[in-house]
Amino acid sequence: MAIPMRLRNLTWRVKEANTRVRENHERQRAIVHAQNRKQLQSERDGIRSHINHMAPGVRRVFLAARLEHIKTALKEKEAAA
């Protein structure tokens, strides 16, 4: 029994389709990753700009409070682990 012409290269066609899908997926993933990095950088720059426009005394108090907040959050995270 002969294999129909439309089924002969089925494996090859499936592999080609999978390759195209994988390449598109990797490209989309890279785009989303780059957009996320840009958004985080933009948010950091906005925060830095806001902090830099504060008066020196206020900036120092704000940064000290932020450092304490980060330290306590880190200690809680370590205690939970």
SS (H, E, C) 18-64: HHHHHHHHHHHHHHHHHHHHHHHHHHHHHHHHHHHCCCHHHHHHHHH
Q: How far apart are CA 34 and CA 15, in angstroms?
A: 28
- pTM (2 d.p.): 0.54
pLDDT at site 1? 61
pLDDT at residue 13 above 70? Answer: yes
- The residue-averaged pLDDT of 9-28 equals 88
- pLDDT band, very low/low/confident/very high, at 6 (cuts 50, 70, 90): confident
Nearest to 3 by CA among 17, 14, 11: 11
pLDDT at site 4? 73
- The residue-averaged pLDDT of 38-56 equals 92
73: its two tokens: 């959050």
